[in-house]
Structure 1
Amino acid sequence: MTELSFKGKEFVYNHHLAVPFRPLEMHPEKGIGQARLDGNLIVQGDNLHALKSLLPMYAGKVDCIFIDPPYNTGNEGWAYNDNVNSPMIKEWLNANPIGIEDGLRHDKWCAMMWPRLRLLHELLADDGSIWITLDDNEAQRGRLLLDEIFGSQNFVANFVWQSKDTPGNNSSGVAETHNHLIFYRKSDSFSPNLLDRTDDQIANYTNPDKDRRGVWLGSPLTRAEHRDRDFYAIPNKAGRMVFPPKGSSWRRPPSTMRWLAEDDRIWWGVSGDADFPLEKKFLVETKDGVVNQTWWPYEFAGSTRNAGAQLKAIFDGEKPFETPKPVQLIQRVIELATRPNAIFLDSFAGSGTTAHAVLDANRRDGGSRKFILVEMEDYAERLTAERVRRVINGYEFSGTQRTELLREKLNWRAIEKADGLVEKVQGIENLHGHEFDKIKKEVKDGELIVTGEKSVKDKTEGLGGEFTYCTLGAPVELDRILTGETLPTYEALGAVLFHMATNRAFDPKGMDEAASYLGETEGDYLWLIYKPKLDWLKSPEAALTLDRARGFADAKPKGKKHLVFAPARYVSQKLLNEENIPVEFVPLPYALYRIERA
């Protein structure tokens, strides 16, 4: 495989591992609804640190990532700010912002994107996908970065989006009217939603279990490849626990499989005891229309002009952001890439279009999609979050409402009958003139377009929903806990330790702080003896003792190992083994500090 080389690659290759965990601090007064970390989020802070902060709760759980990073045109004024431990890269900090004359601007862009893409890869679910908008300045380097991190075999498509509906002036004599929308999957577990079905294909849909949602088609839930993470047991309808066949694994991660089971989307055969379950794909949930193509015209996916006009309408005629993306573009991604309960992540959130599109999709089909936005600039609260507030609650709209009344191609036949065309336009003016302030007539791209225009001032209905606004707290630096320099909350530290030890997302609902319990995986129970009090951490109460180890082992069903994080212990591992107590001690903080660096 062709490898992309850029200046500084050796220094940023594993930089994402050195980025400290920082807990998310909620600000209820800046959001809408109950403050919670498992709902819609808007996070203000450096997106590299924010992505690391999301790992404990969202590793492997994000269904769709859409990002619109700097295009690196040389005119954006973006800055490289990563604190990489390299004299050469530290020199880059003195050369900000990055402009057209910077001979290293492409290297700096790659160095900025590399660790972020590494973390995005960790956050993405096995059956998830990532979508990145770029233009010709970095599209080719973006593809090579994604090939290395996601695997070239997981490239799906490069959609060409007609981002401008009218060509502008360009000194080169060629007007660029498109952007790239680069589309990769995490693994072959992902399959895009198809938008077209033939009559023969529809005939394959049946409803043997008389499901209220109608006819469905069974899709295999196993893959012919063993993956430890996706090799687990699930109960069938008869109550028997079923593993994938030897040498294979499930196509869905545990969280998705639980949702499928709860929503009665797994078919276990007529008797409910099949060895090879199928996922039910309902015909009613398929989309009608044409098969997706890699050319997305502005009529299909919106344009930057549409996006600007919509943002102005939301912000009372002002345009507070120069390069917003249209809601319609992200709606197409939603249709193609996700299910109604998907989690979306946008770590270059800008004006908040992704949240707008997710909320709109939920309103239209009753879905329960969630969004996570990250924006590092100081406008995160006054622009990104404010747009989401207005979209949720509704907003006053002042502007011109346009209604197309006629569109006719101006071919030779139309010109020959020009009198009839003029009469048709006059008839429209007579019939509809009283409904509008103005009837506008224009010739554009070989078509006569007649539009009714009316000035309006109204309140746009809100889409509903809620979100929590967060900032990044102080870093959780594990090697400084016992000195008292850093004392995170029990949940914040527990989330970090759980993720680092298991590479799984932490579920705070399974935590019991009073019992020192963090949660479990397929093979382990995890415990944390900790309080954010320095004197307590240095006292005997903070140590793992023989009685405590016995208590942990007796508190849970047998068959799994118990991993206990604690500042100290008063019992040897040898004694624990001799007494057949399946407890393993992990000292805080040094052992896990080594785990993080490994």
Structure 2
Amino acid sequence: VNVGKEGEDLSRHDKWLCMMYPRLVLLHRLLRPDGAIFVSIDDNELGHLQLILDEIFGTANRISNFIWEKRTNRENRKEVSYRHDYILAYRKDSNALGAKVRLLTMTPDALARYKNPDNDPRGPWKSDPATAQAGHATASQFYELMAPIGKKHTLPSGRCWVYTEDIMNGEIDAGKIWFGSDGNGVPRIKTYLHSKERGLVPETLWFANDVSTNEGAKNELKEIFDGQAVFETPKPHELIHRVLEIASEKDSIILDSFAGSGATAHAVLNLNKQDGGNRKFILVEMMDYAESITAERVRRVMQGYGEGKKAVEGTGGAFDYYTLGQPLFNADQNLNEAVGTERIREYIWYSETRSPLPASAPAANGKAARGKGLANNPYLLGTHEGMALYFVYEPERLTTLDHELLATLPVKGAPTLIYADNCLLPKKFLEQHGIVFKKIPRDISRF
């Protein structure tokens, strides 16, 4: 079968997997225990993606494979018109506290189904079947039901009552079973609106009417950018809104590592405005449009855009824009001296404390402290939770932790963590004096 030049490259799937696998491993590490990941994909790599997600996250943590109707018009250029993409969803840990799929907000259509024709004091309700499939029923769920007006109701073949007879009679007495306006109808269970205020269970099919399409997103981008078509296949922010609604809390941090047109930030800002949330977003985009499209869209959504009847009020908010700096490590895994010793020191401190290096820390050159702090030692980073941290590093030579170096360190008697190239002190000596040695670059944490 002739599938074209792309099909002749049998390694194309391998290349894609080699690109995705380490990124997904890193994203798994970044997620908090109750966090979740949603990955949009088309037919081409769906099978491969699910396999690596199963391996990294575990099949027990798979939430679902959602289907998104990305277009509503027929595409006549191809043999088959593809109208949908997939969104694979996984949890970090299904057993973690708070790891759950949240319910969707009740839609106007869903709310319209709740009425109160009998003036039930419990408020609006809708009716649901009082029978279920009989496959796992017990004997107590098979009986003849007597309506209040005396009419007998028998079960259809293959069905059982949802309740046992005692419970059913109690629900009838409480007015929670509906027999129609004349009392002769098939019995149905009342489901009250107050019990459904928590929302709707998400379904696997996400239709365009609810979460929009690529075309809808493209048209909205044109409105944001004064009529210019700036992005070919953007995701609609309504689609991301659906993801946020079922997978985030009001204070969640949302990371989009393929930010594209910035739809994720748009969705976060809109949702925060709607419910008063304080969600934060992190967008990562490596293409050259990161500033001109991705970041610019976020600015315009925050400030508002459009004119006259088409004007859209801004959501408010603020964000910082950063460009990627030099890598901390070279290809051979040695420290990249081009980033500068001070940046390396900041990274070491953060890797140990998960906090920024204090302004009071001595400067790396040993000549002047950056602020009022501890002794002006070129290797001292500072103290954290009672432990002194040192980064003994010199770009021009190897450093060694020995008695001579130890004598120069200003913090005495406290637990001590020392990074250096080599160590000549015996392990027993280190243990006796509360010293932890970490070798440069081997023991520097990689994120």
Give yes or no for the alignment of 1:365 onto 2:272: no
Correspondence for 2:36 among 109, 129, 138 = 129
Distance 2:418 2:197 in 1: 49
Instruction: Provide the residue aligned with 2:366 in structure 1.
Output: none
Tell me the equivalent position of 1:310.
Answer: 220
Q: Percent identity?
A: 39
User: Does 2:19 match 1:112?
Assistant: yes
Maintained 8 Å contact 1:546/1:576: no
Distance 1:375 1:546, change over 3 A: same
Distance apart, 1:548 and its partner CA: 2.7
Give a deviation string over 1:96-141, Cα, whole Å, max 9, x none: xx94553332222112111111111111111100001111111111
Match among 113, 136, 150 for residue 57 of structure 2: 150
Which position in structure 2 is the counterpart of 1:351? Answer: 261
Q: Does 1:529 align with 2:391?
A: yes
Counterpart position of 1:248? none
Matched, 1:564 2:418: yes
1:296 equivalent in alignment to 2:206: yes
* Displacement of 1:388: 0.9
- Over residues 527-573 of structure 1, what are the superposed CA-to-partner deviations in whole Å (9 max), with x where a residue is unaligned? 13357x757997999x8414637x2543xxxxxx5422245678665
| 1:191 alignment partner, one of 84, 88, 100 | 100
**Aligned match of 1:139:** 46
Match of 1:387 among 286, 297, 315: 297
CA distance in 1, matches of 2:40, 2:16: 14
Q: Does 1:464 align with 2:316?
A: yes
Q: Distance in 1 between matches of 2:268 and 2:417?
A: 39
1:290 Cα deviation after fit: 2.3
- Equivalents in 2 of 1:193, 1:180: separation in Å? 20
Aligned residues: 336
In structure 2, relative to structure 1, the CA distance for the partners of 1:105 and 1:160 (3 Å cut) is same
| Distance of 1:520 and 1:126 partners within structure 2 | 26
Alignment pair present for 1:159 and 2:13? no
1:239-258 matched pairs, under 5 angstroms: none
Structure 1 unaligned blocks of 5 or more: 1-73, 76-97, 198-283, 398-455, 555-560
Note the C-alpha offset of 1:581.
2.0
Are positions 1:178 and 2:40 aligned together? Answer: no
- One-letter identity of the residue aligned with 1:583: I
Decide whether aligned partners of structure 1 residues 152 and 536 sit closer, same or farther in structure 2, where only a CA change above 3 A counts.
same
Structure 1 counterpart of 2:328, from 458, 476, 482:
476
Residue identity opposite 2:418 in structure 1: V
How many Å separate the matches in 2 of 1:374 and 1:324?
15
Distance 1:312 1:341, change over 3 A: same
Counterparts in 2 of 1:518 and 1:180: CA distance versus 1, 3 Å: farther
Distance 1:519 1:303 in 2: 53
Normalized against structure 1, the TM-score is what? 0.50
> Which position in structure 2 is the counterpart of 1:513?
361
Q: Residues 527 and 562 of structure 1 are in contact (CA less than 8 Å); yes or no, is this contact kept in structure 2?
A: yes
The residue type equivalent to 1:385 in the other structure is: A
Q: Distance in 2 between matches of 1:129 and 1:526?
A: 37
Aligned residue for 1:322, secondary structure, equals coil
Name the amino acid aligned to 2:62: F
TM-score (norm 2): 0.65
Counterpart for residue 406 of structure 2:
545
Give the direction of change, closer, same or farther, for the CA distance of 1:129–1:105 in structure 2 (3 Å limit): same
State the Cα deviation string for residues 277-328 of structure 1 (Å, max 9, x = none). xxxxxxx9x9643211111111221211211111110011111111101111
- Shift in Å, 1:361: 1.2
Whole-Å separation in 1 of the counterparts to 2:209 and 2:299: 28
Cα RMSD, aligned residues only: 3.7
* One-letter amino acid matched to 2:267: A
Q: What CA distance in whole angstroms lies between the structure 2 residues aligned with 1:164 and 1:156? A: 24
Task: Report the residue type matching 2:260 in the other structure.
Answer: G
Q: Is 2:242 the partner of 1:332?
A: yes
Distance 1:346 1:565, change over 3 A: same
Greater relative contact order, per chain length (Cα 8 Å cut-off, separation 6+): 1
Residues 544 and 569, structure 1, Cα contact 8 Å, conserved in 2: no
Q: Specify which structure has the higher proportion of strand.
A: 1
From the superposition, tell whether residues 512 and 339 of structure 1 become closer, same or farther in structure 2 (CA, over 3 Å): farther
The unaligned stretches of length 5 or more in structure 2 are 107-193, 363-373, 375-379
Q: What is the one-letter code of the residue matched to 1:176?
A: Y
Alignment partner of 1:527: what SS? strand
Distance 1:124 1:162, change over 3 A: same
Tell me if the contact between 2:400 and 2:423 (Cα under 8 Å) persists in the aligned partners: no
Q: Structure 2: how far apart are the matches of 1:540 and 1:136?
A: 56
Deviations 1:142-174 (A, max 9, x none): 1111011111111110111111123332432x4
Letter of the structure 2 residue corresponding to residue 565 of structure 1: Y
How much does 1:466 deviate?
1.3
Cα deviation, 1:157-216, whole Å, max 9, x if unaligned, reads 0111111123332432x422111111001111221113489xxxxxxxxxxxxxxxxxxx
- Matched residue type, 1:592: D
Once the two structures are superposed, residues 435-468 of structure 1 have per-residue CA deviations (whole angstroms, 9 ceiling, x without a partner) of xxxxxxxxxxxxxxxxxxxxx5654321111111
> How big is each residue's C-alpha offset from its partner over 1:77-98, in whole Å with a ceiling of 9 and x where there is no partner?
xxxxxxxxxxxxxxxxxxxxx9
Deviation at 1:350, TM superposition (A): 0.7
Partner Cα distance (1:511, 1:574) in 2: 35
